[in-house]
Amino acid sequence: MEGWQVVMNKVYITRANAITSMGPDLDALYTGLLENKSGIKKALRFDTAPFVSPYAALIDTLESKNKQSLIFELANQLIDQLPPIDKDCLLITASTKAGIDLLEKKNLIGSTISSKVFPSSLPDYIAQKMGLNNRGFNINSACASSTIAIGKGASLIKLGHADCVLICCLDVITDFTFSGFSALRAMSPLPALPFDKNRQGLTLGEGGATILLMGEKKMKSLNITPLAEICSFGIANDAAHVTAPARDGRGLKLAIKNACAMADISLDKISAFNTHGTGTVYNDLMEINVLNSLFSKNTRANSIKGAIGHTIGAAGGIEMALCVKMLETSLMPGTAGLKDPEKDAEHYFSPDPQKISGDYILTTNSGFGGTNAAIILKRSK
């Protein structure tokens, strides 16, 4: 390996947006969270009677047109809000099930299926719609898909392989996913209560985010002011269980430590932590374990999934966009629904917005397959 010259360029977020059940953009989400609003309601899109819960956080304006998958309608809404993007910008999408609802719209036996059901059709569709010079690719690593996609996009810029990367993160809720999480008994019968003693599981949500990354040179050439710097990232596997987190949080701890090592900062520099916080018993216990193992009780933490549900593969992108707002305002939204914090969580979480200090914020996601991803974001000066 002698002679390898590895460059490490700085990577900046120059635009961040999110469409969620709280509204059509990032401001609607951030303001709604600060005002303790919730996007969780009884779902009317499909029959929830056979399932554990009637609740979901769905986007009111999302409707299937001409037997189109909802994912492409959501992609259209995200694209419509983007400014003109350089045609050479690399596209990465993050989605777990992309256009899976197309299976629901066809008789499976003996009929023609849209090729849009293939997961790679999502980046292909977005790239064509935007007229990009590449067809992009999708990253799938369960609920950590977006966080890993952003990390990989940042890596391509850090190493000098790209100077502009657009990350589109999106997942929608259909009969397919709703029935599955219900069957897994991961779903709460009532709206999710992350980190609360009375939590009973997650509430599913849908949403999308766009995160535009640029290298310093590209950004300066376009005279763009950065929103935040992607300081570093870490990704690790629990190697413990396919559908449950390692109770000691070993994979998440390793991902966070790797991110700190890449950023060359100590853990005490991180004053704010946007957790995955699904509201399931075991996920939240695992994260409380990690918080108490690695961080001081002065660290502020939150979860937004009690307000917009668990947006699966899009969660990391939406939370990344929100972290940009948190750094900009030094104010972290509260943990929606929290009334009686779980033991050892009370120091970190609050139902009300919390002031944050320092220059760094950590955001993490974990998922099936034992995957964990962490990104450290730095305030842009």
Partner 1 sequence: MMSIVISGLGWVYTTSMGYAGDIKVLPSSKGLPPIERKDIFKEPYKPFGRMDYFSKLGLAAIVFAMKDANLHGSPHKNTGIIASSSTGCLETDMKYQATLLPENNTLPSPALFAYTLPSCFLGEASIRYGLTGESFVINETDTTGMTGLGMAVDLLAVGQIDYMLCGINNSQIDGVYDADGIDGIDATSIQPGAVFFLLEKKNRNPGSYGNLSKNESNTSFYYKDSPIKNLHDLAQKCVKKNI
CB of 152 to partner 1, least distance (A): 7
Least gap, CB of 219 to partner 1 (angstroms): 21
Pairing mode, strands 55-57 and 228-237 = unpaired
Residues 59/28, Cβ–Cβ less than 8 Å: no
Among 75, 212, 236, 286, indicate the residue that binds partner 1 (CB under 8 A).
236
Return the residue of 14, 138, 302, 365 that touches partner 1, per CB under 8 A: 138
CB of 362 closer than 8 Å to CB of 243? no
Query: What's the rounded Cα separation, in Å, for the pair 318 and 169?
Result: 8
The one among 32, 251, 309, 333 contacting partner 1 by CB under 8 A? 251
Q: 366 - beta bridge partners?
A: 372
Nearer to partner 1, 159 or 281 (CB): 159
Q: Is 184 in the site for partner 1 (CB under 8 A)?
A: yes
Do strands 207-215 and 331-332 pair parallel, antiparallel, or not at all (unpaired)? unpaired
**If you ran DSSP here, which 8-state letter would residue 264 be given?**
T
Residue count of the chain, please give it: 381
Q: Which is nearer to partner 1, 258 or 283 (CB)?
A: 258
Which member of 28, 79, 85, 103 binds partner 1 (CB under 8 A)? Answer: 103
Which residue(s) pair with 90 in the sheet?
165
If one asks whether residue 120 binds partner 1 (CB under 8 A), the answer comes out as: yes
Q: Which residue's CB is nearer to partner 1, number 32 or number 136? A: 136
Which residue stretch of 52-60, 219-227, 296-304, 369-377 sits at the interface with partner 1 (rule: CB under 8 A)?
369-377
Looking from the CA of 260 toward its CB, the CA atoms found within 13 Å total 16
Smallest separation (angstroms) from partner 1 to the CB of 49: 12
Q: Which of 48, 146, 203, 258 binds partner 1 (CB under 8 A)?
A: 258
Q: Does 71 bind partner 1 (CB under 8 A)?
A: no
Shortest gap between Cβ of 368 and partner 1 (angstroms)?
5
Asked whether position 185 contacts partner 1 by CB under 8 A, the answer is: yes
Cβ count near 48 (within 10 Å):
18
Which residue in the set 54, 190, 257, 368 belongs to the binding site for partner 1 (CB under 8 A)? 368
DSSP run (H or E) holding 19: strand 11-19
- The answer to whether the beta carbons of residues 93 and 169 sit under 8 Å apart is yes
Is the CB of residue 261 less than 8 Å from the CB of residue 268? no
State the nearest-atom distance from the C-beta of 265 to partner 1, in Å: 17
Among 11, 29, 139, 169, binds partner 1 (CB under 8 A): 139
Alpha-carbon Rg for the chain in angstroms: 19
- Listed residue (256, 208, 232) closest to 150, CA to CA: 232
In the 8-state DSSP scheme, what is residue 47? -
Residue 45 near residue 21, CB atoms below 8 Å: no
Site for partner 1 in 202-231 (CB under 8 A): none
Using rule CB under 8 A, residue 264 touches partner 1? no
d(CA 145, CA 152): 10
The HSE-up count of residue 354 (CA atoms within 13 Å, CB side) is: 20
* Among 27, 104, 268, 344, contact with partner 1 (rule: CB under 8 A): 104
Instruction: Please identify, using beta-carbon distances, which residue of 159 and 222 lies nearer to partner 1.
Output: 159
**Angle value at C-alpha 273, between 267 and 275, nearest 5 degrees:** 125
Residue 152 engages partner 1 in binding (rule: CB under 8 A): yes
Point out which residues bind partner 1 (CB under 8 A): 1, 4, 6, 96-98, 100, 103-104, 108, 111-125, 128, 135, 137-142, 144-145, 148, 152, 155-156, 159-161, 175-176, 179-185, 235-243, 250-251, 254, 258, 367-371, 373
